[in-house]
A and B are shown apart, each in its own frame.
Chain A
Amino acid sequence: MSLTTAHSVVAPSANSKRIAGAIIIAYALISIVPLLWIFATSFKTPPDSIAYPPKLLFQPSLEGYCNLFTTRTRQTPEYINSLGPATGFCDETTRKRNMVIAGPSNFLPRFVNSLIIAFGSTFCAVFLGTLSAYGFSRFKVPLADDLLFFILSTRFMPPIAVAIPIYLMYRELGLSDTALGMILLYTAVNVSLAVWLLKGFIDEIPREYEEAAMIDGYTRLQAFWRTVLPQATTGIAATAIFCLIFAWNEYAFAALLTSGTAQTAPPFIPTIIGEGGQDWPAVAAGTTIFLVPILVFTILLRKQLLRGITFGAVRK
Chain B
Amino acid sequence: MLNRTAENVARATPEPLARKVRGISDKGLAWLFISPTILLLLAINIFPLFWAIYLSFTNYRANRPNEVVKNLGFANYQRILGDQDIWIAMQTTAHFVFWTILLQTLIGFTLAWLIDRKFRGHAFWTTLILVPMMLSPAVVGNFWRFLYEPQIGLFSYVISFVSGIPPTSIQMLSNVSMAPWSIIIVDTWMWTPYVMLICLAGLRSIPEYIYEAAEVDRASNWRQFWSITLPMALPFIMLAVLFRGIENFKMFDMVNLLTGGGPGSTTEVASITLKRQAFESWRTGYSSAFAIILFVAVFGLANIYVKALNKVKQR
Contact = CB atoms under 8 A, between A and B. Distances in A.
A28 B129 contact: yes
Q: How large is the interface on B (under 10, 10 to 19, 20 to 34, 35 or more residues)?
A: 35 or more
A9 B116 CA distance: 8
Contact of B204 (A1, A150, A266): A1
A160 B275 contact: yes
Contact of B136 (A10, A220, A248, A305): A248
B59 interface: no
Interface string A106-148: 0000000000000000000000110110111001110000010
B17 to A, nearest CB: 11
Contact of B201 (A8, A188, A314): A314
B240 to A, nearest CB: 8
Contacts of A17: 117-120
Contacts of A256: 275, 279
B164 interface: no
Given A3-B123, A54-B154, A159-B252, A136 B34 contact: yes
Nearest to A172: B65
A283 B125 CA distance: 28
B147 to A, nearest CB: 6
Contacts of A86: none
A72 B141 CA distance: 26
B143 interface: yes
Interface string B186-225: 0001001110011011011010100110010000000010
B1 interface: no
A219 B40 contact: no
A24 B34 contact: no
Interface in A267-282: 267, 269-270, 278, 280
Chain B's interface: helix, strand, loop or mixed, by majority?
Answer: helix
Given A135-B30, A163-B278, A153 B299 contact: yes
A158 B298 contact: yes
A26 to B, nearest CB: 10
Interface residues of A, number: 109
Given A166-B44, A298-B134, A34 B139 contact: no
Contacts of B29: 135, 139, 220-221
Interface stretch (B48-56, B98-106, B173-181): B48-56
Interface of B: 7, 10-11, 15, 18-19, 22-24, 26-27, 29-34, 36-38, 40-41, 43-45, 47-49, 51-52, 55, 62, 111, 114-123, 125-139, 141-144, 146-147, 151-154, 157, 167, 189, 192-194, 197-198, 200-201, 203-204, 206, 208, 211-212, 215, 224, 236, 239, 243, 246, 249-250, 252-253, 256-257, 270-271, 274-275, 278-279, 284, 287-288, 291-292, 294-295, 298-299, 302
24 contacts: A1-B200, A7-B118, A7-B204, A9-B117, A21-B117, A25-B125, A31-B131, A35-B131, A35-B132, A52-B157, A131-B34, A147-B34, A161-B52, A169-B51, A184-B40, A221-B29, A248-B136, A266-B136, A294-B136, A298-B127, A305-B130, A306-B197, A309-B133, A309-B198
